[in-house]
Amino acid sequence: MSPSGTDRRARLANARLYLVCDAHGDGRDLAAFLDAALRGGVDLVQLRDKHADDDAILAAAPAFRAAADAHGALFVLNDRPDLVAATGADGVHVGQDDMPIAAARDAVGADRIVGLSTHTPEQVDAASAAGAAGTIDYFAVGPVHATPTKPGRPAVGLALVEHAASAPRAVPWFAIGGLDTTTIGAAAAAGATRAVVVRVLTGADDPEATARTLRGALEVRVGAA
């Protein structure tokens, strides 16, 4: 592993708050929004836009890359390992129904990050094993609550968060799904020390302050652990 791969994984290990955003910042000024969220404590930003073509993703990527670089954060691309090099992303996130994780790893190489979504206890345990094998670098657990960003995916509740927290895991994991300033505390109490968020920040009047509140809830859990 090169120094760049080691650095990415060190930053991932220290990450708490992960923002997923589309190519347009939900109608906001994208660069200003990302800067505010990162100032508030976001450690990872993911470009996820199921409706964007390759040109739109490539056009949006520099704003994500610049914001991440300005704040020492990581930039991850959703479901497009083939565009990771072209966008300058630090890695890729794939779902259970996307390409196999081994194929994603082969596509992005050893020095970039691969993340995986999980929705059941069996998938959580398999992801932890894949992390131990070096195939993935982190996984997401959820959706904890129903969310329109995952249509058709039923909420798993806090039980899956508790399962993920019930044993040491080989790689970092993040709770995801309907987490906001009113629900993040319960997820943290169930064992989550990291979280992925979308609408709570993209729809916030003050993304910086909201990110700071979310991160604070997670850090309370880290301090109690």
Q: Which residues are annotated as a binding site for Mg(2+)?
A: 79, 98
User: Cα torsion for 12, 16, 22, 27, to the nearest 10°?
Assistant: -140
28, with CB counted inside 10 A (0-12, 13-18, 19+), is: middle
d(CA 167, CA 158): 15
How many C-beta neighbours within 10 Å does residue 168 have?
A: 6
Q: Residues marked as binding? A: 46-50, 78-79, 98, 117, 147-150, 178
d(CA 119, CA 142): 5
Q: What is the CA radius of gyration of the chain?
A: 16
3-state secondary structure of 70: helix
